[in-house]
Amino acid sequence: MAHVHPSAIVDPAAELDASVRVGAFSLIGPHVRIGAGTEVGPHCVIEGHTTIGRDNRIFQFASLGAVPQDKKYAGEPTELVVGDRNVVREFCTFNLGTVQDAGITRIGSDNWIMAYVHIAHDCQVGNHATMANNATLAGHVQVGDHVTIGGLTGVLQRMRIGDHAMIGFASHVNKDVPPFLVVDGNPLQVRSVNLVGLRRRDFSADRQTAVREMHKLLYRQGKTLDEALAGIEALTASYPEAAGDVANMLGFLRSSSVGIAR
């Protein structure tokens, strides 16, 4: 049996690993599954068709799996899926998906999610992301791996944030943010390459140089987007070690439907 505080209410149909801990006055619904080693703090509500992986720490007053804040939602059995080893701080709200999308809101693993963060319906958050206090993702947002989102930042619905990008404090994200960049402000502006983040993740000197060259082609040489794409594609010949990074950038840019921060 899971370690459940006597004042908590856990529906008998919920599936909790025997090592799960549930704090005082928390409420867990019948369609919830929670993996080994996860700790649920006091006064949390976990409901809906919600699956939570291993070794997560969910702090007090979090609300996970509530119905979407979407007037079209009509009670469909959509899902929230959370991976492993995430830290979810106080008053976070993660909503279920909708049938207008894939029906799943998904948060990956090893994310650091600070207080009052809202992740709306159908968002897809990768791994190793950091979201500071009061960051808000509107519906259908996609966040890559190793992304940092500053406090009080709002991300408009259907925007995408590429791997290793950093969004500064109190920004308004209304365009796709390509990988590796630092952006901030309202209106949103591209500032630089996220070199600090790349060094922390052991990017080699050649990979860092290739990323800086991509930034120059996109933002510093007055090129059209098509011209920049051609220049980025050619970088693989000079920096073969960065072929994956070049492919990441090209794939992101070519798949943008709303335009990129530029």
List pLDDT tens digits, range 35-64. Answer: 999 999 999 999 999 999 999 999 999 999
Q: Write the pLDDT tens digit of every residue in 154-181.
A: 999 999 999 999 999 999 999 999 999 9
Q: Could you count the other beta carbons within 10 Å of the beta carbon of residue 210?
A: 25
Annotated catalytic, 140?
Answer: no
Catalytic residue among 48, 108, 122, 245: 122
Q: Is the pLDDT of residue 150 over 80?
A: yes
Is 176 an active-site residue? no
At residue 182 the predicted structure's pLDDT band, cuts being 50, 70 and 90, is: very high
Active site annotation includes 122: yes
How far from the centroid of its chain's Cα atoms is residue 129's Cα? Answer: 6
For residue 170, what are the contacts with CB-CB under 8 A and spacing of at least 6? 150, 151, 152, 153, 184, 186
Main-chain dihedrals φ then ψ at residue 83, nearest 5 degrees: -80, -140
Q: Which residues contact 224 (CB under 8 A, 6 or more apart)?
A: none
Q: What is the pLDDT of residues 75-114, one digit of tens each?
A: 999 999 999 999 999 999 999 999 999 999 999 999 999 9
pLDDT of residue 1: 76
Task: Please work out, in degrees rounded to the nearest 5, the angle formed at the alpha carbon of residue 87 by the alpha carbons of 85 and 89.
Answer: 165
Which one of the listed residues 48, 139, 150, 162 is annotated catalytic?
Answer: 139
Tell me which of 43, 121, 146, 215 is the catalytic residue. Answer: 121
